[in-house]
Amino acid sequence: MTSQRFYSDFLVIGSGIAGLAFAIKASGLGTVNIVTKKKNFDSNTNYAQGGIASVIAPGDVFESHIEDTMRAGAGLCNRKAVEILVRSGPRRVNELMEWGTRFSTTRDEHGHTVLDLGREGGHSQNRIVHATDLTGREIENALLNKISTIGSITIFENHTAVDLLTEHQLGAEPGPGDPVNCYGAYILENATGAVHIFNSKITFLASGGAGQVYLHTTNPEIATGDGIAMAYRAGAMIADMEFIQFHPTTLYIENQQGRSFLISEAVRGEGAILLNARGERFMEALHPMKELAPRDIVARAIDWELKKSGERCVFIDIAFKGSDFLMKRFPYIYSHCLKRGIDISRQPIPVVPAAHYLCGGIVSDLNGRSSVKNLFVSGECACTGVHGANRLASNSLLEGVVFSHCAYEYLKEYFPAKGAGIRVPEFPHWNKEGTFDLEEWILIQHNIEDVKRLMWDYVGIVRSNLRLQRAYRRILLLDEEIKDYYRRSTVTPRLVELRTLATLAKLIIRGAITRKESRGLHYNTDYPDSIESMHMNVVLRTGMQPEMTSLEDISFS
């Protein structure tokens, strides 16, 4: 288990759309190392069924997409970020196609081949570019194929990021007002247990979301929020962690084990209706957009139906579309449900909400910069201000590719001029040794389950002061236990993830306790209304009390 040193101009942590798109472009500026936790490039991108939102259709306009995004964000979106997102959309979609992505097409009234644009909740127009119902996988494959042709990119599979390399690892503490600098990361090689030094002049975090902090989630097992936890420990600003998006419709399976199967919002976009156990449609009376209301509203409506009735699921019905249409438009969903004994062309699909998307993360400016110098972020681990208090459907893939491009555009000017001046210090090899046995493994597994159950029961779709305070007391006790494990145990991928999940749980709970109102995805029964003066973000930093401020007022030199 000999520790090695690896050097590159750019270190990319994460292999979803944000990380891969950046790596492709940054390869023209210097060498790139990509580290990813799994061999099969598992990521939230791969599981994105719906698509990528963009203003492409005749009659659609940027202002409409901007307003739809702002409306969904419940007053917390950074309008400048939203405008960049929307106005860059068509160019980034074309770029993805140039890189080999094959989106679904149809014929217009003149017989010309055009992109087949779907519609999802919160959108006022059809603007969802998709590849049937496997859009994320199609994009991921195209980007990986593109990367395989670029000699200056090296991919390290089955590697887990442990900690960022900053002055803290050198025993130095920056003075008041002095920036923290990032020079890469300690990376665990999963197969051997060796912790390597990956030095870089620029570190690019695209480590994805944190759905695994909850018991029920659509996210893959690797979505544990490692990048956010590392950045927090390094001193980066973190914001909006209380805004967890629960996807309203995942396939209900009794005694569910593992990742929840997503029933895409595009199903409702094609006219599907939601029914309670009595066969009654319940969204008509709750919102003018009915089933196409923003996700937070639909998720709370389903949660209320389940609590009111005591039932375990509601149903989504699209059988009226017929098998020919459904097999063509939703082949993945159709076949998966059929394997479970559900013919969606003949019967409604049982569904429940599950944790899906994190709207907060590492605070980023419009160039992808974090508050830690030479640490850039993009994708779900970043908080650009685009999503505000609630993400508009299919803006996530778009955000990843747009703000990775923004970071590249900034670095294209900055790196040639100043990159040579970045001196990477000599960091010590990882020297934390410990023991590990079966008993420790069992305790770690139990603690992971404890964190996930705690978050699901107390910090879910609907919250209260009592639940949040109880959750915080319990997570502090768990966190001390976990720190003790970490101090005396050999580092393993699962131990790293346990440490991360406890950190993320604390950040989410602290954000939720700080916000004394209900807004977007955060609903507290003790503060059921939104407060106009609370159009501010909850910013969290290591060793400091939560701060209420606006992301628009934050800038990084």
Cα(118)–Cα(103) distance, rounded to whole angstroms?
12
Cα(159)–Cα(368) distance, rounded to whole angstroms?
24
Between the alpha carbon of residue 465 and those of residues 525, 529, 545, the distances in Å are: 8, 14, 18
Q: Which of 207, 163, 243 shows the shortest CA–CA distance to 517? A: 243
Between the alpha carbon of residue 272 and those of residues 51, 83, 120, 152, 281, the distances in Å are: 18, 31, 11, 47, 11
Contact 125, 119 (CB under 8 A): yes
Q: Tokens 């076949």 sit at which residue?
A: 335
295 assigned to active site: yes
Catalytic option among 119, 127, 137, 295: 295
Number of residues written out for the chain: 557
The three state secondary structure string of 290-323 is HHHCCHHHHHHHHHHHHHHHCCCCEEEECHHHCH
Contact 130, 329 (CB under 8 A): no
Cα(445)–Cα(440) distance, rounded to whole angstroms?
9
Cα(385)–Cα(201) distance, rounded to whole angstroms?
26
CA 557 from centroid of its chain's CA atoms: 26
Strands 5-13 and 32-35: parallel
Q: Reading across the β-sheet that carries 244-251, which strands appear in turn?
A: 244-251, 349-358, 314-317, 273-275
CA angle 317, 322, 323 (to 5 degrees): 110
Report which residue type is found at 196: H
Between the alpha carbon of residue 210 and those of residues 54, 169, 207, 360, 454, the distances in Å are: 25, 25, 9, 10, 15
- In DSSP notation, 480-536 reads HHHHHHHHHB---HHHHHHHHHHHHHHHHHHHHHH--S-BTTB-BTTB-S--GGG--
Contact 539, 363 (CB under 8 A): yes
Catalytic residue set: 295
